Amino acid sequence: LSMFGTTVGLYGIPWCEKSLLLTVLMSVIGASMGILDTGGNVLALNTWGAEAGPHMQALHFSFAVGAFVAPILAKMALGGSESQDLPAAEHTNQSVWRSVPTASAASALKHHLGADFLWSYVVIGTYLLFVSFFFFILYSKGSSARDKSKASSQKGMFAKYHYALIILLFIFFLFYVGAEVTYGSYIFTYAKVFAEMKENEAAALNSVFWGAFAACRGVAIFCAACLYPGTMILLSIVGSAVSSSCLAFFARYPASLWVGTAVYGASMATIFPSGISWIEQYTVVQGKSASLFVIGAALGEMCIPAAVGYLQGRFHHVPVVMYTALATSAMTFVLFPLMYKLANSPGESDLKEMSESEDRKALLSNSGLNEDEEDEEDAGEWNEADFEVIEMNDTLRNSVIETSRKIPGDSAATVSLQQHLDDVLRDSPAVAGGSPGRKNVNVDREKND
């Protein structure tokens, strides 16, 4: 449904002549893409479960490829037609569309875009329509798979601090995605203004960032099969912290700028898919939780670049972009250990199982089934206690026997009294408790008898 809504919006844009209608269609596309982000992550988790790590990396690798390839293809398409359709004066002044909002410029822009550019919306919409059709076929045949995933989600247990983990990961994704989009959006301007690079060099630096981003996500598909998601997140946040520090303090050196940009792009690549796979190990991730993750990412993508653009306009000589990268890296570096601590705290079910296992162990030791595993010191204490009871019982036995001898009468009374005493001693807790010294009690009793 989300891809079908995107198709409708893309089909309507080429024929849209009113700004209000264009705004509505773009809003439909944005909402549909937001639903697709949420549904795609949850679908991957429900389909592959604990083995969703490589598939999640592949899902987000497709986004990285699109982010890297689409601007290049768009520049090639616009640049190729520019040299043929636009006059030489307009070709030399690339900012004429923004700086001269005249009727001639608007008509030149409309003629320049033409049918080829507008029909690209229809081509992309048709591609999405075919993909949504195939998804509809899979959906119609996947009732058993949906029931299985529903049953597995019901069996899952929520973490002790489930809502705290969801909120912290919401904040984590807000800073991470905001830093990613901010750096990718402003590195071109930073390279031209602060590093004084040429336009083609600045574009190449931007391509290095997104290229390293896409390449590292491709490698992460295979790394996710042998590395835990938490390990990948830890490596990523350490790499982003080191590279952002290098960019914030040593970006004036060209080599540091190029290497730092590449490492920063590679470090930012695997955090989002690894974060979703990581939280799935500790608690149940449903549609509401995944939507909060996407909302946090969308808020970071919307707010942080806008704030950086405002601050950069106010403070022209301060590299706000680099300081923002450093600050967001520091936030993610602090948040992840806190989330890890909360996720590994024992829940109520774990504490109950631990108490049950301890009770079971105590019962086994008291019944004499766990004698070989007890400490020698505890056995010695039990033996000393048993010997004290034996001495007390021997004294009691001797005194009773001496008393019975002084009583005149039949010897049967002595035998009856002796049997009664044996029954009392046999029911004594110290003798019948199953302690390690029980065998010694029986041996001494036989001697006394």
Is the per-residue pLDDT at 355 higher than 60? no
Query: Any idea what DSSP says for residue 428?
Result: -
What ranges make up the beta strands (E) of 7-58?
none
pLDDT at 348: 52
Q: In this structure, is residue 148 part of a structural domain?
A: no
- How far apart, in whole angstroms, are the C-alpha atoms of residue 395 and residue 433? 21
Where b means 16+ CB within 10 Å and e means fewer, 82-116 reads eeeebeeebeeeeebeeeeeeeeeeebeeebeeee
Is the per-residue pLDDT at 87 higher than 50? no
Of 234 and 67, more confident: 234
Look at the chain and report how many structural domains it folds into: 1
Q: In this structure, is residue 338 part of a structural domain?
A: yes
pLDDT at 42: 79
Which tokens in the block code for residue 211? 């290229």
Q: What is the mean pLDDT of residues 294-307?
A: 90
Query: Could you give the count of Cα atoms lying within 13 Å of 58 in the half-sphere of its Cβ?
Result: 11
Q: What is the mean pLDDT of residues 364-389?
A: 48
Q: In this structure, is residue 371 part of a structural domain?
A: no
- How far apart, in whole angstroms, are the C-alpha atoms of residue 14 and residue 117? 9
pLDDT at 48: 80
Among 239, 228, 230, residue whose Cα is nearest residue 343: 230
363 falls in which pLDDT band (50, 70, 90)?
Answer: very low
DSSP characters over 346-390: --HHHHHHHHHHHHHHHHHHHTTTTGGGS-HHHHHHHHHHHHHHH
149 falls in which pLDDT band (50, 70, 90)?
Answer: low
pLDDT at 75: 67
Q: In this structure, is residue 393 part of a structural domain?
A: no
pLDDT at 34: 83
pLDDT at 135: 87
Helix (H, G, I), strand (E, B) or coil at 8: helix
Is the per-residue pLDDT at 170 higher than 60? yes
Q: In this structure, is residue 270 part of a structural domain?
A: yes
Q: In this structure, is residue 246 part of a structural domain?
A: yes
Is the per-residue pLDDT at 7 higher than 70? yes
CA distances for 358 relative to 349, 352, 365, 433, angstroms: 14, 10, 11, 19
One-letter amino acid of 40 = G
CA distances for 186 relative to 128, 132, 182, 264, 297, angstroms: 30, 34, 6, 14, 18
Is the per-residue pLDDT at 52 higher than 70? yes
Domain that holds residue 268: 1-78+112-136+158-345
Q: What's 285's domain CATH number?
A: 1.20.1250.20
pLDDT at 23: 92
Of 14 and 383, more confident: 14
Query: What's the pTM?
Result: 0.62
Which residues are within 8 A (CB) of 282 and not within 5 positions of it... i.e. 6 or more apart? 159, 165, 343, 344
Q: In this structure, is residue 103 part of a structural domain?
A: no
Sole residue written with tokens 């898919």? 273
- How far apart, in whole angstroms, are the C-alpha atoms of residue 86 and residue 277? 50
Helix (H, G, I), strand (E, B) or coil at 319: coil
Q: In this structure, is residue 316 part of a structural domain?
A: yes
Which tokens in the block code for residue 4? 């079908």
